[in-house]
Amino acid sequence: MGDPGLFTPKSVTWQMHGDPMMWVAGVRALYLQALHPRAVRGVMQNSDFRRDAWGRLMRTANFVGTTTYGTTEAAERAGARVRKIHRTLTATDPGTGERYGIDEPALLLWVHCAEIDSYLHVLRRSGFPLTDAQADRYIAEHRVSARLVGLDPDAVPRDRAELAAYFAEVRPELAAGPEAREVDDFLLRPPTHPLLVPAREVLWRRVAQLAYASLPPYAHELYGRPAPAPAVVTRRLRATGALLRRVPARLRWQLPPKHILRAMARLGPSARPAPYKLGR
């Protein structure tokens, strides 16, 4: 038996992260993260977001895949690489001139909580079978990933109640500033080859709109764009989830970097992620 990694096939994380709705959840996380002015400023001032946004999305997906399905060594190495990069980066508040490190615990915590909330919210709302106790377990499991990016696990929410309390506490700090508007504009109209513009309008825009619609109401208020009624959004999420889950898992998992297939090769076919395993 090979190294099962930090989460292991017995975790909620192992089963959840193999679901195709994780891509919609990832876009929701970007929308939510952009509402913290200090956090999004750190991204925009240290990267060419518009030119390399796809690269950023893929690096995030690769990090999540490595830490979920990779060996312990690979996950720890990925975390060390992220911490090293963050230590070298700073951002400047244009209003006050304050220069600050993007590895401030408060900023890392916001990014972490926005991701975990988005993954959990979108998957559950789209029909992924998860009890409240399993949802709490998922949040608690991700104190491990919080440690990897430089957070003290004891300072990270461990269940839905603590996560909700965190969002209530941080809510007054959120705003849709110019950087958030730029992220919003990019997600709706990402640069693409002229021949691919029709596909962007038909496919990508629907993904982005669905991810935006699944945000909490206060996020819609900050961005200033309405969303359909919650019941309509839930129906669309469930329909999208049902459609994507009809694509054979092994076909979906063939997409690079193939973390799940490598984990199954390392641990055996019983390591295959599947929602029904959560009830065991």
Tens-digit pLDDT profile for residues 76-94: 999 999 999 999 999 999 9
Over 80: is that where the pLDDT of 136 sits? yes
Single pTM value for the model = 0.94
64 within some domain: yes
Q: What is the mean pLDDT of residues 112-135?
A: 98
Strands 90-92 and 99-101: antiparallel
Over 60: is that where the pLDDT of 193 sits? no
In the predicted model, what is the mean pLDDT of the chain? 92
> In angstroms, rounded to a whole number, what is the distance separating the alpha carbons of residues 217 and 233?
12
48 within some domain: yes
220 within some domain: yes
CB 29 within 8 A of CB 75: no
Residue 241's pLDDT band, with cuts at 50, 70 and 90, is very high
160 within some domain: yes
Give the lowest-confidence range in 140-149, 209-218, 249-258. 249-258
219 within some domain: yes
40-54, 101-115, 195-209: which has the highest mean pLDDT? 101-115
245 within some domain: yes
Q: What is the mean pLDDT of residues 190-215?
A: 76
Q: What is the mean pLDDT of residues 205-230?
A: 96
Over 70: is that where the pLDDT of 52 sits? no
- For the chain, how many structural domains are there in total? 1
pLDDT at residue 279, as a whole number: 75
232's tokens? 């309509």
Over 60: is that where the pLDDT of 176 sits? yes
Q: What is the mean pLDDT of residues 223-242?
A: 97
pLDDT at residue 12, as a whole number: 98
7 within some domain: no
Supply the range of the domain harboring residue 247: 12-270
Over 60: is that where the pLDDT of 186 sits? yes
Residue 47's pLDDT band, with cuts at 50, 70 and 90, is confident
